[in-house]
Amino acid sequence: MPDRLRALVYRPGSLGDTLVSLPAIAEIRRRYPEHRLSLLTENQLAGSMRVSPWTILKETGWFEDVYFYSVRPTSPAERWRNVALAMRLRRNAYQEIFSLAPPRTTRQLRVDSCIFRGVVGARRYHSAQHAAWPPSDVDQAQVEHEGFRLLRIVDPDASGDVLRTFRLEVPDIDRAMGRGLLNELGVRPDQLLVGVGPGSGRSATAWPAERFAAVGSALLREFRNIVLLAIGGSSEQRLCGELCAAWGPRSHNLAGRLSVFGSASVLSQCATFIGNDSGPTHLAAMVGIPCIAIFSARNAPGQWAPLGEHHVIIEDRPECAGCMLDDCVREAKKCLTRIETGRVVREAISLIESRGRTCLAH
């Protein structure tokens, strides 16, 4: 029996990056159903709070192997392991290699091509055709959604409908885990759940915590039957705990208590989700929950919008928009601080009222 055809997908990144890449990866799996699919991704550093792409992708069942490389090898041993990995990948004789890397510079695109075409030896190599980093000075309104940019690497004729309709499948075991935790917390069927994600991987994209506290308090006063669920990773346990302490008994701190898919299970039962430009917001969107997404002006408008429909993007774009800063010191995050609490509360009330009727009907 001849060996199966092989395809390699290169995808580094964090939780939000990985989630946005899922429609493109799903399209690879659909187009190459008989291929043995392998993932190449970065090795997570010890103590890192980032969620590895493999944490999410292994649950999809799309991949049969995964390979990890060192991003910045600091020792001869690490450099040798990277070389040995490249040789191993070459022996696998991939027919297709897809580079679903984040936006690259012209130099990075050339390096990637040299590695995958020359060293690994792809028969067919699929990657971005033009540099997308650093952002150009052209009208930022022309920058396409990151998920669509990745999807077009796989299918240049792809339609944006793929992004609007994509849904993340949650494994049964994680669904049961999420339901079990809500039962343990005493959440009743007649209560509406509202997820809140106050954390973010960058300080420049984090709306002030005290404003999340004020939004939650306002919603608890407005609706007698809602429960607030603070969602995040283990690094956000303290932040979420402080918010729940301010909100009182109709709130629960779930940060760090569930896996990514366990969190997805809980989010799928929410009426809405309120969060920053972060992994939990993308996760909520991918299980079909309308989001109130509070965005900084760091990126081009719409570039990282949550996938799906019926989301409310709250954004203010001052003259420094498009800065791409991880930490905003000089302007003190004015694109975010200019977003007032009342604006978020009004949008949340409108969405909860419309969603509440639907949720209780089911």
Same-domain check for residues 129 and 179: no
Among residues 142, 165, 188, which one ends one of the domains? 165
How much is the pLDDT for 141?
61
Same-domain check for residues 159 and 117: yes
How much is the pLDDT for 21?
97
Same-domain check for residues 206 and 276: yes
> What are the pLDDT digits (tens) for 110-165?
999 999 999 999 889 999 999 988 776 556 667 899 999 999 999 999 998 999 99
Among residues 165, 192, 223, which one ends one of the domains? 165
Domain presence at residue 73? yes
Q: What is the mean pLDDT of residues 269-287?
A: 97
Domain presence at residue 247? yes
pLDDT at residue 31 is higher than 60: yes
Domain presence at residue 270? yes
Among residues 117, 140, 165, which one ends one of the domains? 165
Domain presence at residue 34? yes
- Strand 6-10 relative to strand 226-230: parallel, antiparallel, unpaired? unpaired
> What are the pLDDT digits (tens) for 244-267?
999 999 999 999 999 999 999 999
How much is the pLDDT for 360?
46
Domain presence at residue 291? yes
**What does the radius of gyration of the chain's CA atoms come to, in whole angstroms?**
21
Domain presence at residue 249? yes
Same-domain check for residues 116 and 210: no
pTM for the whole structure:
0.93
Same-domain check for residues 160 and 220: no
How many structural domains comprise the chain? 2
Share the mean pLDDT of the chain: 93
Domain presence at residue 1? no
Domain containing residue 137: CATH number: 3.40.50.2000
Same-domain check for residues 301 and 343: yes
Same-domain check for residues 282 and 327: yes
Same-domain check for residues 151 and 216: no
Angle between helices 279-286 and 260-267 in degrees, nearest 10: 60
Domain presence at residue 141? yes
Same-domain check for residues 270 and 326: yes
How much is the pLDDT for 143?
85
Same-domain check for residues 200 and 349: yes
Same-domain check for residues 45 and 156: yes
Same-domain check for residues 144 and 238: no
Selected residue with higher pLDDT from 198 and 43: 198
> Domain of 30?
6-165
How much is the pLDDT for 1?
33
48-52, 292-296, 304-308: lowest mean pLDDT where? 48-52
